[in-house]
Structure 1
Amino acid sequence: MSLSQNFSIVHPEHFFISGLKDSPYSTYFYIFLFIIYFISVIGNSIVLLIIALHRSLHSPMYIAVFNLALADIGESNALIPNMIKLFFSGSQYISYNACLANMFFVSFFITVQTYTLVVLAFDRFIAICLPLRYNAIVNNKFMAIVFSVIWVFNSCMVTMTTSLITRLSFCKSNVIESWYCDYGRLMMMPCNDSSIQKIAAYVIEAFFFVAPPFIIILSYMGIFLALCKITTWEGRFKALKTCVSHLLVVGSFFLPIISNIIASPAANNRFIGGTLALTLPPMLNPIIYVLTTAKIKDLIRKMLDNRSAPIRANVSK
């Protein structure tokens, strides 16, 4: 305990993550989460390796895809293993410091994901609306600077909001009605004033979850106007085709969140919907980019052919 403004700030030794403790199907759900985690890590690792090892993919757009895959792996590792550990260990208690660390890393990687999607939207906007100036505006140095700023700025913002939690006193309850150490849920639990923390939460929500989709929508409005100026349907389709993977990734990221907001308020449904809203996008993103990007598909096909060639040669002997 520490003294501040004539009252003691109570930091509990542990928090209790309630999760799906009352659901009869929770075991199957956590097994499903493990499958999601496995596919997410393997899929994003493959995307990282392909982009890193092939110089033909060392371009601005694929630097952004590389950053997205890195954030996806980070979020999956920050969220799912801890959930599975808490459930299968038979104890859903997490220490105070571990809870803050969990909150920091989950929040950090999710915010990195959101602004990576914004950068990808900007990349497509410049490529379609200003094709002659694309190489002058968007290059590898530009992307390196942008993502350095995103990682540093996001880490500072999330550090600030996490540190504000240490000013809250949890003297009434230590039960977090969520599937991880959720900043929003923790703000509803303290017995002292949390107005500063709530203001910070609103700022973070506006900056990371309201502004990004708004910017992406504006980008695609500009892209749509540029497509209308293309005289041939073939040209429009060719330009729009370059946006397919990004649009699918944006949909996989924001649609589950929106669906969870308007879904049933039942506790178990909210838990399942909220969990899938955070865990499905990192699994779907590498699948989307592999299936919709010709360059990545061709490189994977060549890698498989090169590996199978010695086997075919040995068999023929």
Structure 2
Amino acid sequence: MDLFNSALGKNITFVRPDYFIISGLTGIPHVNYYYAFLFAIYVVSVVGNVCVMVVIILDHRLRTPKYVAVFSLAINDLCGNCALVPKILDTFLFNHNRISYNECLAYMFFCFVFLAMQSLNLVAMSIDRLIAIADPLHYHVRVTFKFMFSLVASFWLYIVLMVMVATGLLTRLSFCESIVIKSYFCDHGPIYRIACNDVLPSRVMGGLCPVLSLWIPLIFILASYGYISYTLSKMSVAQERIKAMKTCSGHLSLVAINYIPIIFIYLFATNIHPNVRIITVSVHPNGRMINSTLTHSIPSLLNPIIYCLKTEEVLTVIKCLYKRFTSNQKRIQM
């Protein structure tokens, strides 16, 4: 932290507040209905992702390299929703809008780690599908448990280091005028904008992080599916193409669920993301914040549902586990 703070200079009075005030989502009519909806999303998301994790752990058929990324995605969705939604409800439903300086930075760190890791989990899954279709004969040799675990672990380390740098740069900022964060959580952009010293490093990092954690992964995923489409077009047997396409349908659904709302926000609602301004549209700030909270929470709700419905292996395992559970219950009753 001293390294970051040294950039302040000797002639600037450094002011670090005891707390911040989160001011988003205020003055909305019947807002309690929205909080109830958000809480329902949170509960279903937790149950769904825990079920996916339990199913993968319990059945040996799913303890394969392919499901390392799926398990990582479930952990990410579970932890991401747990980091974001309960604090939102506590802040606005119970009017606890004050948050200490250190707690705010920790809150921001965990939220951004889990939000940013979504895309890289999808990258890991796309790499699995790319090798499976483009080089099926060597798939089991190249895609091992060690390979997938190392890939996913390196992605987690990459995201943690990136967000750590972004968070660390905020500790060099002085807040001598305002302590009000105009967002629904301790957001990076609204925090550095209320600082009264040089914010250029934080501004640069704020613009760089979305590129590194959202857009480059999306470009890689699209490129991989471009190559997959090219490979499928060279298959002479239609049934093989259909079978290969089915193995990608679950992953493509996850990509669509995660990226379509984000793209919509970036293109059609200025300032939803604090670091990007593309088109100026007149949207009420509360509307932008509600859209953003849903964009961050709904994918973690739909990911386990869509993936289970789109993956025959998971459906088969769930049916087997359910039959095993019901048969055990009948034995106990007898």
Common fold: TM-score over 0.5: yes
Q: Which of the numbers 264, 267, 276 marks the counterpart of 2:285? A: 267
Matched, 1:122 2:127: yes
Alignment of 1:142-291 (within 5 A): 142-261=147-266, 262-263=268-269, 265-291=283-309
Query: How far does the alpha carbon of each residue in 1:10-50 deviate from its partner, in whole angstroms, 9 at most, with x for none?
Result: 22222121221110132111111111111111110111111
Give 1:287's aligned amino acid.
I
- Contact 1:256–1:276, Cα closer than 8 Å, also in 2: no
Q: 1:43 is matched by which residue type in structure 2?
A: G
**In structure 2, C-alpha distance between the alignment counterparts of 1:158 and 1:203, rounded to whole Å:** 11
Aligned equivalents of 1:218, 1:281: Cα separation in 2: 22
The alignment partner of 1:6 has SS state of coil
- Provide the C-alpha distance between the structure 2 equivalents of 1:90 and 1:197, rounded to a whole number of angstroms: 29
Residues of 1 paired with 2:116 and 2:26: CA distance?
28
Work out which of the residue numbers 135, 138, 150 in structure 1 matches 2:140. Answer: 135
Q: CA shift at 1:110, angstroms?
A: 1.6
TM-score, with length taken from structure 2: 0.90
Residue identity (%): 38
Q: 1:314 to 1:206 in 2, by over 3 A?
A: closer
TM-score by length of 1: 0.95
Structure 2 Cα separation of the partners of residues 300 and 160 of structure 1:
41
Unaligned runs of 5+ in 2: 270-281
Q: Which runs of 5+ in 1 are unaligned?
A: none
Aligned partner of residue 13 in structure 2, secondary structure: strand
3-state secondary structure, aligned to 2:241: helix
Match in the other structure for 2:323: 305
Return the letter of the residue paired with 1:270: R
Shift of 1:289: 1.3
Tell me how many residue pairs correspond in the alignment: 315
Residue 301 (structure 1) shift: 1.2
Residue matched to 1:68:
73
Amino acid at match of 1:42: V
Aligned-residue offset at 1:142:
0.2
Q: Which amino acid aligns with 1:37?
A: Y
The amino acid across from 1:245 in the alignment is G
The alpha-carbon distance between structure 1 residues 19 and 226, as it changes in their structure 2 partners (threshold 3 A), is: same
Q: Secondary structure at the match of 2:111?
A: helix
What residue is the counterpart of 2:102 in the other structure?
Answer: 97
C-alpha distance in structure 1 between counterparts of 2:179 and 2:32, whole Å? 24
Q: Distance in 2 between matches of 1:26 and 1:51?
A: 38
In 1, Cα distance between equivalents of 2:99 and 2:122: 32
Match of 1:31 among 28, 33, 36: 36
